[in-house]
Structure 1
Amino acid sequence: MNKKGIVLMLGVSLVMATGAAMLAKNWMHEQGEGDAVSDMAQVVVATLQIPFGQTVQASDLRMVELPPKAVPEGSFSEIEKVVGRVSNQVIYPGEIVLEGRVAEHMGGSALAAILESGKRAMSVRVDDVVGVAGFLLPGNRVDVVSAKSNGNNRNVTSETILRNIKVLAVDQIASQERDGPVIVRAVTLEVDPRQAEKLVEATQEGKVQLTLRNPLDQEDDKDDFMTAQRSNMGVAEPKAVSEPTPQPVRAAPVGRQVHIIRGTQQSSVSVRN
């Protein structure tokens, strides 16, 4: 075989080897993409903004694909599991819907679905002063101050009877989105049964005033926190226990020995002061 034949055979072999390598590479790439697509997870996200206290509709939702490791805990994989629930916070477009952001709606009004376990919704009639000049929004926290008149307008006593109470709605609006202050006629608060009783008593005996709290004010001071809890539960402040007055210690009597001599006999007698 001459030199030209050997070179031709080597060239053909090289071309065939290169072609085989390219085919193998393309096949592996396709297999890898197929595995990646099959491993993607389906997650429910919001298509539109879902206001606070609104029942979620199918048109508010859509599905997106995410890598399994990027799927947050508490998310939904089916739209049907979210439809009919009530949002307890504002959910924005493109946001992944989490279980803690929507509450089960077991019937009745949507407001009942967002109440915490053991809590009640109670409305209080307000005016522009009691309602903090219209700046109250659902989700705010307030303190309730009770003012009573003791038969004389100049003799008025006031007391903070409830602390850190959540506002559920103002008038019939449960949405947290509002452009400016609006004067309302009623505010709905989230209270437990004992707090509801105190609030009714306060409204019957005098007037109540709402004070808006800073959302970052968590009452870090332990004494203030315990005072607030006792106030909410209607428990009286514990009375200070005075320590007993120490009694003076009396010194033990000092004994003395008296020696008595009678003739040849001697005896001793103890004598106390």
Structure 2
Amino acid sequence: MTSNNTKKYTLLIIAIGLGVLGAFLAMLYLNARESSLRDLLKPKSQPIAVVVASKDLLKGDVLDGSTLSVRKIPSEFVDNNAIRPNQFDEIEGKVLQQNLAQGKALIRSYIGTDFPLDFSDTLAIKRRAMTIQVDEMSTFTGLLRPGNRIDLFVNSSIGGGKEKSIMPVLENVEVLTTGRDSAYDYTEKVRFLRGGVDRGINQSFTTITLNVTAKEAAILATARDQGELLALLRNRKDKSGSGFSVVSSGELLANAQKLEKQEQLRRSTEKLSDSIVVGEDGVLRDKNGVALVNQNIVIGKDGSIRTKSGIDLSSRGLSLNEKGEIVDKDGNVIDPDSLVIAADGTLMTGDGKVIGGAKVQSLAGIKQLADGSVVLADGSVIQGATLDENGHLVLADGTVIDPKDVRINADGSIVNKAGQVIAKVKIRRGDNVISFGTTVDYLTGGLSKDGVLIVQKLPVAK
């Protein structure tokens, strides 16, 4: 009996489960059918006529019958701000503010009333465009491009003299145009109104237009009238300046002499490297590895030779022979340990032989003139230096040096007691330095009535 009851309950549960499943499936079917019937009963979507681009349009194009057309689009895909055909008269003649692909609907936000089609509209407020004539060299053989930056110099005479000098005029100036080609930075405003399509840059031009202020334009015009303009191309990221105010023919000669000296030092270094080697232990050896007898010398990277006490031997015509000996121009061997500096700065050997070259001077006798220039005992001027209230020498880079117990060599190197070079300065030679504003006697040609030469008092000008 119990077994029959169990079977009945099992069948009942199965029947109930199947009934629930059947009801669930029936509900799904009815819902799907209802949705299908609803879709069938919905009204069909009506296409709406809108204004579209008849071809690919680019920023700056004028909106008219040649660039626009009418197209019907399903209503669900139409933007609320799309232009309808009955609104065409409102937008005709206006300018497209951004690119629009063919067949795309024209949206009201794409339309503008104004667009800078004129080059003057590209200039920033308070800036001016100035065009100057250039030659092929100033255009870097056609490689100058709009957007590049240049420095401008002028080659002219100063004060009406015959000697010409080069002076900076303007630095880091932006080139707006080369000929009629405008800068890439102005692409969307001027030249490339058609989406930045590069139609080629003209490499043959005789004028360039620069981005300047009104005052800079006046300075440039004055420089152009005074002499020949020189343009130098610079990296657009470079913010440095020229670092000089004028370069004269005298400085040109000095630079040539400097280059000559550098070449002499290079050859000297090359020659030394073939015969003298500095070991890892700092010992000087010949090419065979034999240590030199004299180790009291220092060979600089530039080929210069000094004693360990700081005396510059190279500038006095002394050099090293293949044996590592110090010799003069005649080949006479000089013992560097015997070199002494006389009271007047003259360099000589222990037996009294004077070594040529400029004197080694003490800084103890330096003084500052009324014009602020600092001079040595021989009248040479230490350029860019001053003296503070304690009598210390202050260099252009701010280095402060106590003049006691230091010497200055002919090349401008300042050496302490230990022979270490502690600073380097530029020296302007001059046996007789006269401060600015001093009055001197000037003898003119001709005689006075009493037969005495005429003397005029002239102030020394800067």
Give TM-score, length-normalised by structure 1: 0.49
Name the one with the larger helix percent. Answer: 1
Larger Rg: 2
TM-score, scaled relative to structure 2: 0.31
Larger RCO (CA within 8 A; separation ≥ 6): 1
